[in-house]
Each structure stands twice: as structure tokens, then as C-alpha cells.
């Protein structure tokens, strides 16, 4: 399978879960995948699995909570590749689930930094390279609580609402002046570490695996869609 042959993709939060699965799926489809996360050791494990499957990848250990790190990453990638074809913004942090009046401000600030500020920094850093691609795709991995507020999820939901707003606005700004198209994907209930943290009593076997979401994202980047595009990945029957 080489539907993405010759394309360069960048995936954040690529060390585990949906990010790692998406990186593997994009590489299997022929893309060269830049793996971004904080842990070099975990990224190396994903990179090795991609190599073992015959794919191509490069690790880029970066703390996305540091905007200067994102800027340096963009410069480094721009010096090696002429364009970025696929940007998957997946990295996120889940604040403690608590009533709004009990939200810890340090916890909220950390979530806002990674889930929102880093998103804007990624767009700012890679906009030029995305616009150089003949058919660029930006995929944002969101949550239903961004659009539908839920008790005790106020902190995370607020960050995802802002995340969605940034991506939607960017899509509108570039759709008439470039080939950049933006999709916001809600993975739904998926077997990830974040899900286990939020629902500790849930049976993981009852959830779809991250590979299901990864396969849908990989298919989506090759499709034609109106930008901004939104969809939810349904459970597997």
C-alpha cells in the first residue's frame, strides 16, 4: 500500500495510543512520518516498529508545552524538507476531572498550554510548509466534550472547544488561498491510556483499538472534503 508515497507527515503525541497507531498507519501507506513527543525512548520504539514493517520515519523529541521548541522543530524540518503534506495534531493532556469551582489553576494552565497554545504554535510554525504542499491536510484529534459540555469535564472541555475553534478558523482562513484542508476528528471511545485514566472501571476490551482511528485518519488524508470537515469515528461492530 503506497497511497501516500513521497508525502511527509508529522504526528504529535506519536509515542503511544492514537498518535503511535496513526504514525504506523501513515508509514504503512507510504508516507515518511516525523514522530513528535517528549519521550525519545518511546518514540524510538514506534520508529523501530515502523522500520520493521518496511516504513520510513524520523523521531523528533520535543516538549510541545514549550513554544520555542516547536519553532526550532519547524526550522529543522523546513531545512530538510521542502513541504509538509500531513500534520496530525493529536497530543493532549487530560486535567483532573473535577467540578469547575475546584479546578486547579496550575492543572488548567498546563492543559491550555499543550492543548491550545501548542496548537496555535504548530499552525504558525508549519503554515509555510503546508502551503508548499500540493494537497496538504491538517487533522486535529478532538473530543466530544469540546462541543457538548459535561459535568466535571469543564477544564478539558474548555481546552478542546478552543482547539476546535482555532482549527476551524484556520481552515476558513486558508481554504481560498491554498491547498490546505483541515479536518477535526473525534475518535470517540477508544482504548487509550487517557481513556483509562478518565474511566478507571471500564473494561478496555469493550472499546475499539486506536488502530481503528488511525486507519480512518489515514484514509481521510487521501479524500477530498470540504474544509473545515468534522467527523466522529464510530465503534466497530
Give catalytic residue positions. 156
Check: CB of residue 81 under 8 Å from CB of residue 54: no
Which residues neighbour 122 within 8 Å (Cβ) at sequence distance 6 or greater? Answer: 12, 64, 70, 87, 89
Return the C-alpha torsion angle 95, 118, 157, 201, nearest 10.
Answer: -40
- CA 210 to CA 187: how far, in whole Å? 9
Task: List Cα–Cα distances, 145 to 76, 94, 164, 212, in angstroms.
Answer: 35, 12, 11, 21
> Which 8-state DSSP code applies to residue 187?
-
How far is it, in rounded angstroms, from Cα 129 to Cα 106? Answer: 34
Would strands 56-61 and 137-141 be described as parallel, antiparallel, or unpaired? unpaired
168: cell is: 476551524
Helix (H, G, I), strand (E, B) or coil at 141: strand
Residue labelled with grid coordinates 466497530: 236
Amino acid at each position: 500500500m503506497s497511497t501516500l508515497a513521497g508525502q511527509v507527515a508529522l504526528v504529535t503525541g506519536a509515542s503511544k495510543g492514537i498518535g503511535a497507531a496513526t504514525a504506523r498507519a501513515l508509514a504503512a501507506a507510504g508516507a515518511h512520518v516525523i514522530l513528535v513527543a517528549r519521550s525519545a525512548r518511546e518514540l524510538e520504539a514506534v520508529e523501530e516498529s515502523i522500520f520493521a514493517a518496511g516504513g520510513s520515519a524520523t523521531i523528533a523529541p520535543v516538549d510541545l508545552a514549550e513554544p520555542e521548541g516547536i519553532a526550532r522543530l519547524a526550522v529543522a524540518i523546513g531545512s530538510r524538507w521542502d513541504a509538509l503534506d500531513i500534520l496530525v495534531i493529536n497530543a493532549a493532556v487530560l486535567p483532573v476531572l473535577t467540578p469547575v469551582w475546584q479546578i486547579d489553576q496550575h492543572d488548567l494552565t498546563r492543559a491550555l498550554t499543550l492543548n491550545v497554545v501548542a496548537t496555535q504554535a504548530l499552525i504558525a510554525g508549519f503554515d509555510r510548509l503546508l502551503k508548499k504542499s500540493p494537497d496538504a491536510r491538517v487533522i486535529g484529534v478532538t473530543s466530544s466534550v469540546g462541543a457538548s459540555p459535561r459535568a466535571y469535564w469543564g477544564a478539558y472541555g474548555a481546552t478542546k472547544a478552543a482547539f476546535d475553534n482555532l482549527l476551524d478558523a484556520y481552515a476558513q482562513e486558508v481554504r481560498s488561498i491554498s491547498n490546505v484542508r483541515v479536518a477535526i476528528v473525534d475518535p470517540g471511545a477508544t482504548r487509550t491510556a487517557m481513556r483509562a485514566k478518565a474511566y478507571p472501571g471500564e473494561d478496555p476490551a469493550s472499546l475499539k483499538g486506536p488502530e481503528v482511528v488511525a486507519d480512518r485518519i489515514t484514509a481521510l488524508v487521501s479524500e477530498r472534503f470540504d474544509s473545515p470537515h468534522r467527523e466522529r469515528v464510530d465503534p466497530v461492530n
